[in-house]
Amino acid sequence: MVVAFVAIAKSVGQQCLKRSKPYSNSYFSRYGVQKWQFQSHRTLILQSASESVKLERLSDSDSGILEVKLDRPEARNAIGKDMLRGLQQAFEAVSNERSANVLMICSSVPKVFCAGADLKERKTMILSEVQDFVSTLRSTFSFLEALHIPTIAAIEGIALGGGLEMAMSCDIRICGEDAVMGLPETGLAIIPGAGGTQRLPRLVGKSIAKDIIFTGRKISGKDAGSIGTCMTCHSSFVKRQSSSVFPKLAPLSLCLINTK
């Protein structure tokens, strides 16, 4: 399925290429002093304390495609403090990268996009820390939503809670049939705090959104494609053949850099 996601990213990136600006060599996050730089193979690497988030430029592409990869397999990509800091740094770097035309968010962990917030870590926090974490998570996803370039969430496997909220902050969501999405934290008497209650109704309508939020039920990739949570759903069989299909979806007039 990654082939499909790359194909659509290339399609968008090529449309945006003419609008791109000269490359800037250094990036400094306001969240730290980490430096981002291009290596010889045109791969952008995040040098930070958090190894759970990686920002890369597709080495086989000159269309300005960047990838944020989630890589915390031991916690199913659950978002803890370190991972949140990595996401902040990654999105900040993307916002400063003038040659970027499209951003794709995906996972390096099989059958997992993101399991949401790290509830095990949350148990160790005092109330003020929880409030700060949720506030920062919300502002980070709002920052992602406001990026000047088109953003795509490539969802394979589970995307729950904050994972779904992150995906809904992107412009486009593509999923596989194995995808499982939902806001199950409501079953723990936790209100989705990073934009889920706002963005989901905009995508699927109030009635379906209330059903998903009130019941905490999970939806399949097929259902997500049919109700509008995702733009399209593909089976694992299709993923190797999707590269010729996705460019046809490029009435993606998303070369709207700086106009979103």
The pLDDT confidence band at residue 187, using thresholds 50, 70 and 90, is: confident
Mean pLDDT on 252-256: 47
Domain membership flag for residue 259: no
The CATH number linked to 211 is 3.90.226.10
Mean pLDDT on 142-163: 92
**Helix (H) / strand (E) containing 176:** strand 172-176
As annotated, the active-site residues are 117, 162, 165, 185
pLDDT at position 18 over 50: no
pLDDT at position 227 over 50: yes
Domain membership flag for residue 31: yes
Domain membership flag for residue 252: no
The pLDDT confidence band at residue 140, using thresholds 50, 70 and 90, is: very high
Q: Specify which residues 158 forms β-bridges with.
A: 112, 180
Q: For 29, list phi and psi in degrees, rounded to 5.
A: -85, 140
Between 49 and 107, name the one with better pLDDT: 107
Domain membership flag for residue 257: no
pLDDT at residue 8, rounded to an integer: 52
Nearest-angstrom CA–CA distance, 256 and 187: 39
The token pair at 148 is 């000047």
Nearest-angstrom CA–CA distance, 66 and 92: 13
Number of domains observed in the structure of the chain? 1
Averaged pLDDT score across all residues of the chain: 77
pLDDT at residue 64, rounded to an integer: 75
Say which residue the tokens 């592409």 belong to.
Answer: 61
Per the structure, the complete domain to which residue 58 belongs is given by 2-243
Domain membership flag for residue 249: no
pLDDT at residue 10, rounded to an integer: 53
135: helix, strand or coil: helix
pLDDT digits over 101-127, tens only?
888 899 989 999 999 999 899 999 999
Lowest mean pLDDT, pick from 54-63, 73-82, 105-114: 54-63
pLDDT at residue 17, rounded to an integer: 46
The whole-model pTM stands at 0.77
